[in-house]
Structure 1
Amino acid sequence: MFYGRPAKYSYWNGCSTGGRQGHMMAQRYPTQYDGILAGAPAINWDKFIPAEYWPQVMMKELDYYPSSCEMDALTQSAISACDELDGVKDGIISMEGLCHFDPLTVVGKTVNCTSPNGTIKISKKAAQIAAAIWAGAKASDGSALWYGLPYESPLTSLGGTNCTSLTDCGSLPFAISSDWIQLFLQKDTSFDVSTIGYEEFDTLFRQSVNEYASAIGTRDPDLTRFKNAGGKMISWHGMKDQLIFFNGTEHYYRQVLEHDPKAHDFYRFFPAPGVEHCRGGPGWYPGESMNALMDWVEKGVAPETLKAIATPSATGGAQPPLRTAGLCPWPRVMTFVGGNPDKASSFVCK
């Protein structure tokens, strides 16, 4: 007791694995913390980690490994198609659930590329790969295994390739996913992940769940003990997250509400449009969320919105002003109602 008395409140703050650990504290050790701030939580680890390899499976099955230029063009096409669903054009998809972009509509479009330099036309196979990444991992019989990336997430994060030219590319999977398959599932450091097709992927996905769900799954929706202990939790997740599937967190929160329809009284989830994994991207980052959590725990003031800021990329000249926003608690979404789109007052939660 450095200050001569015990701490009055205890808090947890973490993102990604830290966000998963925060959820595990609420689920398994509910009296340890008065408040938990859990960003982009890596819950459902046993499912989403093998699901991260799904893009590479699709490339192998189609025998096509698109360049990053081709895949980035598909991402930008999706953003252009769905950007203004929230009422303002700002390069951010805030209403992901209303976006139904079909990548086949831009097949044949010419794209100018750098590194490697040149031009390329968007191919049907690249469009099929993008559609599969957005739809999410499938079993060999076509049934859904897990969610896909949001439309605005960089497809190259999980659908990575290594290219010597625009038309000569090979597989470059996300290391954590390929390591998981090699070390934790196959338990063989020499296993060649590039050989994985539909059927083997199906088997590996189910093996991951069967072996590791109880240890690292972290998806118990029963937070009764945390609630009874007086705990409060704020979770947020970037809707442009390129590594942990945003809809997996949304799925968990829906399960919590199904178990306890009043869970909103102690646990609130805030989607962050345009934010990548834990930070980055053009969207609104809730960097002052701990203040909101402390107000909820210590003053009983529940957050109706979560203060967030975005810094648009400068295109020359003076640095553009910060954009402010109040992130909306799920299931409400930020909707532009007019005025200056850089101001939080120009948006409401609907």
Structure 2
Amino acid sequence: MRRAAMIAGLTATAAHAASLADVCTTANVKAALPTSVYGLTMIPSSVTASPVYNASTSGQVFFPDATYDYCGITFNYTHNGRGDTVKLQYWLPAPESFENRFLATGGMAYMISGGSSYLPGGVMYGAVAGTTDGGFGGELDIAFLLANGTINYEALYSMGYHGIGELTMIGKEFTKNFYSMGEEKLYTYYQGCSEGGREGWSQIQKYPGVYDGVIPGAPAIRYSQQQANHLYSNIVEKTLGYYPPPCELEKIVNATIDACDSLDGKVDGVVARTDLCQLHFNINSTIGLPYHCAARSSSGIGLGFGKRGTDPPSTAPSLPRGLHDSKGRRAYISYQPTASFSDAETSYNSETGEYELSIASTGGEWVAKFLELRDAENLSTLDNVTYDTLRDWMELGWKRYEDVMQTTWPDLTKFEKAGVYSYQFFGLLLQLHPQYHYCLFLVPGASHCSTNDVQANGPFPQINLAIIINWIKKGIVPYILNAIHLAGDTKFNCVYDQVFLDTWDYIFDAYKMPLY
């Protein structure tokens, strides 16, 4: 062990002065493998290393265009006594570009990581960037059931928080060894969106002292409510017996944008004040508006000519209201005004000439696989499913997965004491608590973890890592979000007011326990 440590020191000392080709070898990587991460053992025979020159990235929403060199490495580790294999991948900046930074990246949907797709966002800032397969191949919905009725708890908890935590702890020690940092400070960051945002909050809650800064974008917290809620639109349609054509829903969204655009003081195709839209726009005002569905093929003539009416009843007024049980108590929230009704999309039956129910697979798979423990990718029917049923599904998942996927542990005292910085963004003003090292931004017009074609003039926070680096190292507090406008020339102004905040104040009284 002493010899390995000496070799690692010599190797890493050379790393500061040597070229990328000199240091990016399997021998150097093996010498830098961690030996002191408790309960974990690295597998030297699994190491690969390859230098990459003049790599370039463009057109991404989470980091800017850049050209860079890096050392791409992979290696595996095992949990002592378990006999498993977890695969890691890291991109290391060239020695002259390393800035004493490490970045862990997260995933999306049921994937623990985005593979190498997010790693450029670290290397371009002089950070070692890493990703993991969690030891289960990376896709939880594939690995979740060992058999019908039997949960793969190792995969579940790896997805929940262990996988990213271990990726980071191993990555930090490896980085310090590889670059011979000694007692120098290594700044450690995390960035992810959607599932990656939930993973970010899992790290804040479970590993508060491991990171210096965490960026959890649009986090899928309240996981059970969030996943089951994808079925809410379908249950509204089923209850009302009305299945709207997609073009009707698109018409409602476009009409809402037109009506609410000016409420923020600037007509630019971006609704920055969805609170005012929620307070002042009546969705029933869209009744009577004509719509037309485009042809479904090159030889088609188009479908769904019509006007929005009340007979049969439209689903649209019910969708923004959110899930309430049969006693009128709120169980969860729904779309903000101007959001697309993607979960409500129906399918066209060419034989009957009618639109029919299309069960949203995100919600259907959650219920079938994670609640009913059946190896199925969706529900086959929503017969006899009511609003109370959906509330019960939400509560079941909450109880079963509260400590692993729900990710709503409210006591962040250790996070605060550790001095970790975090700022969070959602697609849609600013709630700022710099004394607690925490900021929340809602991005006008943005979609979920992406730009929005329907409000194309909207910005998106593309340089998040640079912002939090400057906050931590230079004390530059992000009182405004330095978003990038990717499709035109528009000025964005952020406003704080209590009326806006009150529209986000919900009471979830459908449960006996508080829903954080």
What residue in structure 2 maps to residue 175 of structure 1?
A: 361
CA distance in 2, matches of 1:140, 1:164: 32
What residue in structure 1 maps to residue 13 of structure 2?
A: none
Structure 2 unpaired stretches of 5+: 1-176, 297-301, 501-516
What residue in structure 2 maps to residue 12 of structure 1?
A: 190
Farther off after superposition, 100-109 or 289-298? 100-109
Matched-pair contact (CA < 8 Å) for 1:134–1:149: yes
Alignment of 1:200-349 (within 5 A): 200-239=389-428, 265-281=436-452, 282=456, 283-312=458-487, 321-323=488-490, 325=492
After TM superposition, give the deviation of residue 322 of structure 1 in Å.
Answer: 4.6
After TM superposition, give the deviation of residue 126 of structure 1 in Å.
Answer: 7.8
What residue in structure 1 maps to residue 507 of structure 2?
A: none
Matched-pair contact (CA < 8 Å) for 1:70–1:126: no
Q: CA RMSD in A?
A: 2.6
Given candidates 182, 185, 200, the residue that maps to 1:22 is: 200
CA gap of 1:124–1:280, structure 2 versus 1, over 3 A, is same
After TM superposition, give the deviation of residue 263 of structure 1 in Å.
Answer: 6.4
Q: Work out whether 1:67 is the aligned partner of 2:245.
A: yes
**DSSP 3-state at the match of 1:38:** strand
Larger RCO, structures 1/2 (Cα 8 Å, 6+ apart): 1
Higher strand fraction (1 or 2): 2
What residue in structure 2 maps to residue 110 of structure 1?
A: 290
What residue in structure 2 maps to residue 317 of structure 1?
A: none
Matched-pair contact (CA < 8 Å) for 1:71–1:126: no
CA gap of 1:206–1:45, structure 2 versus 1, over 3 A, is same
**DSSP 3-state at the match of 1:130:** coil
Given candidates 226, 232, 237, the residue that maps to 1:48 is: 226
**DSSP 3-state at the match of 1:307:** coil
Matched-pair contact (CA < 8 Å) for 1:307–1:327: no
After TM superposition, give the deviation of residue 309 of structure 1 in Å.
Answer: 2.0
AA aligned opposite 1:76:
N
CA gap of 1:126–1:143, structure 2 versus 1, over 3 A, is farther
CA gap of 1:88–1:160, structure 2 versus 1, over 3 A, is same
After TM superposition, give the deviation of residue 227 of structure 1 in Å.
Answer: 1.3
CA gap of 1:326–1:332, structure 2 versus 1, over 3 A, is farther
CA distance in 1, matches of 2:292, 2:205: 50
Matched-pair contact (CA < 8 Å) for 1:271–1:328: no
CA gap of 1:331–1:33, structure 2 versus 1, over 3 A, is farther
Describe the superposition over 1:200-231 as per-residue Cα deviations: whole angstroms up to 9, x where unpaired: 22322222222222321111232221111111
Bigger Rg over Cα: 2
CA distance in 1, matches of 2:239, 2:415: 45
| TM-score when normalising by structure 2 | 0.55
Farther off after superposition, 200-209 or 323-332? 323-332
Q: Work out whether 1:130 is the aligned partner of 2:319.
A: no
Describe the superposition over 1:37-87 as per-residue Cα deviations: whole angstroms up to 9, x where unpaired: 111111111111111210000000011110100011111121112111111
**DSSP 3-state at the match of 1:206:** helix
**DSSP 3-state at the match of 2:478:** coil
AA aligned opposite 1:223:
L
What residue in structure 1 maps to residue 275 of structure 2?
A: 97
After TM superposition, give the deviation of residue 304 of structure 1 in Å.
Answer: 1.0
**DSSP 3-state at the match of 1:235:** strand
After TM superposition, give the deviation of residue 323 of structure 1 in Å.
Answer: 3.8
CA gap of 1:128–1:113, structure 2 versus 1, over 3 A, is closer
AA aligned opposite 2:215:
L
Matched-pair contact (CA < 8 Å) for 1:50–1:180: yes
CA distance in 2, matches of 1:172, 1:237: 27
CA distance in 2, matches of 1:289, 1:304: 13
Describe the superposition over 1:255-289 as per-residue Cα deviations: whole angstroms up to 9, x where unpaired: xx9xxxx5653010110011111112122100011
Farther off after superposition, 64-73 or 2-11? 2-11
**DSSP 3-state at the match of 1:133:** coil
Matched-pair contact (CA < 8 Å) for 1:236–1:271: yes
What residue in structure 1 maps to residue 236 of structure 2?
A: 58
- Percent of pairs with identical residues: 27
CA distance in 1, matches of 2:390, 2:462: 38
CA distance in 1, matches of 2:386, 2:204: 38
Describe the superposition over 1:2-58 as per-residue Cα deviations: whole angstroms up to 9, x where unpaired: 111155210001111111111111112101110011111111111111112100000
